[in-house]
Amino acid sequence: MSKLLAKEMRLSASKLSYIFIVFTLMAFIPQYPILVGAFFVCFGIFHSFQTARESNDIVYSSLLPIAKRDVVRGKFAFTLVIQGIAFAVSIVFVAIRMLVAGDAGPYGFNAMMNANLAYLGYMLIIFGLFNLVFIAGFFKTAYKFGGAFVIYIVITTIVVSLAEVLHHIPGLEALNSNAYGPLQLIALIAGIVLFAVMTFAGLKLSEKRFERVDL
């Protein structure tokens, strides 16, 4: 797997996949739907799929002495590395927001989402959706990805909107607090579980679909 990951990172990836991790800095923007930062991270990964298609990377990879499913696993490994880095730096940003910034300045009366544990959970849902909807959609043909990406955008927009609405519902205000609350922890755990389930399902579905593809 390390060879495949190195291949993905050195040969197949678009530089934008790395650069777009910067969008996690959106966590510091007040009065803004900061979850779109997670979408932009995935948009960066999308560019690597585009590059892979244009450079015939799928055929190149399929001709290497590896199993066909390993072509899929290489793409997932790369995606998880980018999402992992984005999540790790987001943990740091959330720690700064919660422990240092707190309710200072505009963060104290932020009508939109604050960067807290619930935000991290929502991020993981957006990452998991990418792995299930987009990647598994791509591996239907290993060529066409427009439709899968549009569906992913629509679902992500709904998730971002719901996440922004949720903390305005009476009783759920703690979801958007700058201080820790158990509701946030529940949202984070739900995000971790959903991410794991969607990523695993996306991987298995992609492997199954790619096995049937004629290149």
User: Which positions lie near other proteins, rule CB under 8 A?
Assistant: 3, 6-7, 10-12, 55-57, 59-60, 62-68, 212, 214-215
Beta strands per DSSP E along 57-202: none
Could you identify the residue written with the tokens 């899968």? Answer: 148
Closer CB to other proteins, 52 or 125, in the complex = 52
HSE of 106, CA atoms in CB hemisphere, 13 A? 10
For residue 67, the minimal CB distance to other proteins (Å) is 6
For residue 114, the minimal CB distance to other proteins (Å) is 43
For residue 36, the minimal CB distance to other proteins (Å) is 31
For residue 15, the minimal CB distance to other proteins (Å) is 12
Closer CB to other proteins, 109 or 214, in the complex = 214
Closer CB to other proteins, 50 or 177, in the complex = 50
Q: Is 212 exposed, middle or buried (0-12, 13-18, 19+ CB in 10 A)?
A: exposed
The set of residues, in sequence order, having a beta carbon less than 8 Å from that of 19 and lying 6+ positions away, is 44
Structure tokens, 95 = 């720690």
First to last CA, the chain: 23
Structure tokens, 122 = 């929502």
Closer CB to other proteins, 65 or 182, in the complex = 65
Closer CB to other proteins, 162 or 215, in the complex = 215
For residue 63, the minimal CB distance to other proteins (Å) is 5
**Coarse DSSP helix, strand, coil percentages of the chain, rounded to the nearest 5 percent:** 80, 0, 20
